[in-house]
Copies of this chain bind each other. A is one copy, B any other.
């Protein structure tokens, strides 16, 4: 069952993890570099969640690389359960953060340029879009691993 596509220690899992790390880094950078994100609670929430998702995805990507190169296929359900719970929690938090950011950006955009200059609004929107992509890949990882646990 270790060969389930997308589950931990496969090349599909590595691709998902790299995608998560990439999109969450992009979301964090679009939101935090040269933008006063700390004026809005939702934007601070997004920055915190993306700041948690980046080390989580990177660590699991390194773990996948190690497992693929050493062909080491450990069967430890406890680790799988921890990974699935971590993925689940981060996926839910990143969906909440992305939705919150998108809704606040929409409200600011409709309030006019005094609240949201076009340069900033575009970056907020890009950041929310990257967070949604990151969430999608995290859910995919989580589902593949949950399926693997259930079929033990």
Contact = CB atoms under 8 A, between A and B. Distances in A.
B41 A103 contact: yes
A69 interface: no
A104 interface: yes
A106 interface: yes
Interface stretch (A8-16, A57-65, A73-81, A91-99): A91-99
Contacts of A40: 107
A146 interface: yes
Contacts of A45: 103
Number of copies: 2
SS class, residues of chain A in contact with chain B: helix
Nearest to A107: B104
A70 interface: no
Nearest to A96: B99
Contact of A96 (B41, B95, B106, B110): B95
A102 interface: yes
Interface of A: 40-42, 45, 92, 95-104, 106-107, 110, 146-147, 150-151
Given A41-B106, A42-B103, 12 more contacts: A42-B107, A96-B96, A97-B99, A99-B99, A100-B100, A100-B102, A101-B103, A104-B107, A146-B146, A146-B150, A147-B150, A150-B151
